[in-house]
Structure 1
């Protein structure tokens, strides 16, 4: 079963590699004539990698064979964008994958109605609307914030779910749901009323960050040790980047090219990737039934990611393309290094488990 689940996760890993290569090509780190590859950068990262892993985790949770079609539609749909297959095929596959994700959330809701599920279903709806508009011909850049909200609210829903175990009240949950609705509405409004809606989105996101800081146990566990402190560092770093992106939107309205780069990567790398690094030791065992214990060396890629994003942000603010390239290369290095660290931890844990499971030699 582990091998079968790995087969479903593998295309997401390929989408990550494609997305990173396309991102470097877009920055001019190396020459790439294939326009389709460069255009696939954001969809590959958003839908093909993160979105596919999110829905794969949900498919594992509900234990329905048909649900595994959703992660494949997302990852393979994104990967098809760099092939001779018409782009409409890949975009349609992504739309279908997100629609199936909503069906999965409906089943989860029927089993256990909860505010966290509502927020995550709202997130998937944003992803579906973004993919639908893109499939209908709207430039991806125009719907990228809506697509990003898909991932942001998915994480918010997960924090609400975990917060219940930490004493989050019904009033606190409802406040989170209200903010999620506000973020979704203002993100969609950016497609129709750019500028003003961007500023509104920035303001609502800032309030959301404050709410997360108030309800999240990370502000307490940062004083602990081991895995708890590591996760808190990742979470608080992610919130800081989401706040930075929000401030840029609030202050500048519709972002120009440099601000757009700063905002999108602050959200998708600073916030989302920090959250992935924080929860990898929980997600991988749940999806692949492979142990991934925390190791102190996990801090190295996390620190590199934060520093590289700071360098990239400085380059965006100053309009220094070379600095942006340096930051972008370091972004990729941080992600690759984290994958290597995670693989090393998983292999080490598996070996330890096998050794402990071996019968002792008889005298």
Structure 2
């Protein structure tokens, strides 16, 4: 069986995880949907972050590594996610996911030895943050503490990827130093939030705002948005995601909210959905092509799921922040799920049609 075909089950588990995570998210918002298992609502965050994004990211890293042992990371993460998808929340799923994150760290150790660089160090630190969060999760730490480590994992990973892609602009030492300051502030805020939640979250917010400024000022997307086709589409996704990163950072910096509630919901979804999922939308043509070995042709219809995501998040965040518009949050959450479903449908349709006509990206 071709190696690309062997990756399909892992990708399928990731997609199943996002579907289950969306279902649980809608239940949490008050939609009258059934729960397969009592107490399964707590799996919403783990399924979205670890089950979908963790599987996708570890699979991408294994492909880039080019060694079969690296696939232990997505296999373990996907297996753990499947446990969360199909059964009550227990220790076995988190244990497998934690094991997968340790393999991710090992992958970055090998990559660092091949080519030591700031962007590799940033992504490796993200993998360490994921592992630290997973260890705490496995140890029974409250999700409101674990989630900030997961946030650092995704933010640092994306920041490292953007730094790598921005090498064409030859950033100066001052630009690189500003990047380091932002990353250290993000990580320092997460560490501090473990013991001093409110000050730590405020510091995290400052770091996210600093990263937003850096990306808006120095990222190649500012130039790429003036291009056409898939290049412009990716740039639009990136720039929109940076706006949401700034929104999440501002809420964190000005409120220091570290416990579940409406502000907490607005902050986390601005970052996880607005920023992180926008990055997934932007890089989907590259990620899915690399993982599955099939070209994914860009289509203007991709703007449908991008637009739906931003509109739904505006509704959700405004509903979180304005008491009299609380129903907007509920409908915004439903549209969040619709945006993700449209993304999956658009992606699948593009890959299916690519077999008949069109040129690879």
Distance 1:245 1:86 in 2: 29
- Residue deviations 1:79-106, cap 9 Å, x none? 3135556611111111111111000011
Q: 1:353 Cα shift?
A: 6.7
**Aligned residue in 1 for 2:47:** 44
Q: CA RMSD in A?
A: 1.8
The equivalent of 1:291 in structure 2 is 295
2:245, 2:271 within 8 Å by CA — same for their partners in 1?
yes
| Pair 1:312-2:309 in alignment | no
Judge which range, 251-260 or 112-121, deviates more: 251-260
1:131-151 C-alpha deviation (Å, 9 max, x unpaired): 111111111122212211111
Q: Is the 8 A contact 2:297 2:358 kept in 1?
A: no
- Consecutive unaligned residues of structure 2, counting only runs of 5 or more, are none
* Of 138-147 and 27-36, the range deviating more from structure 2: 27-36
DSSP-derived class of the 1:299 partner: helix
| Residues 43 and 89 in structure 2, CA contact (< 8 A), matched pair in contact too | no
- 1:6 equivalent to 2:8? Answer yes
- Label 1:108 to 1:298 Cα distance change in 2 as closer, same or farther (>3 A): same
TM-score (norm 2): 0.94
Q: Give CA-to-partner distance per residue, 1:170-194, whole Å, 9 cap, x none.
A: 5433432332122112112112101
Does residue 325 (structure 1) correspond to residue 330 (structure 2)? The answer is yes
- Match among 83, 105, 111 for residue 102 of structure 1: 105
Tell me if 1:347 matches 2:352: yes
Equivalent positions of 1:66-215 (< 5 A) are 66-84=69-87, 87-215=90-218
Q: Tell me what 1:337 maps to.
A: 342
In the other structure, the counterpart of 1:361 is none
Q: Normalization by structure 1: what TM-score?
A: 0.93
Contact in 1 for aligned 2:39/2:88 (Cα 8 Å): no
After TM superposition, what 4+ stretches of structure 1 lie above 6 angstroms from structure 2? Answer: none
Larger of the two Rg values belongs to structure? 1
Between Structure 1 and Structure 2, how many residues are aligned? 355
1:275 aligns with 2:279: yes
Matches of 2:350 and 2:356, distance apart in 1: 10
The structure-2 alpha-carbon separation of the partners of 1:238 and 1:89, relative to structure 1 and needing over 3 Å to count, comes to: same
Mapped partners of 2:197, 2:22: distance in 1: 28
**How far did 1:13 drift?**
1.0
Q: Which runs of 5+ in 1 are unaligned?
A: 357-363
For 2:214 and 2:336, locate their aligned partners in 1 and report how far apart those are by CA, in whole Å.
28
Using the alignment, how far apart are the partners of 1:108 and 1:161 within structure 2? 14
The range that moved more, 121-130 or 139-148, is: 139-148
Distance 1:82 1:277 in 2: 23
CA drift of 1:155 comes to: 0.4
Distance apart, 1:71 and its partner CA = 1.1
Tell me, in whole angstroms, the C-alpha distance in 1 between the residues paired with 2:47 and 2:173. Answer: 36
When structure 1 is superposed on structure 2, of 53-62 and 344-353 the one drifting more is 344-353
- The answer to whether the 8 A contact 1:70-1:97 is kept is yes
2:17 corresponding residue in structure 1? 15
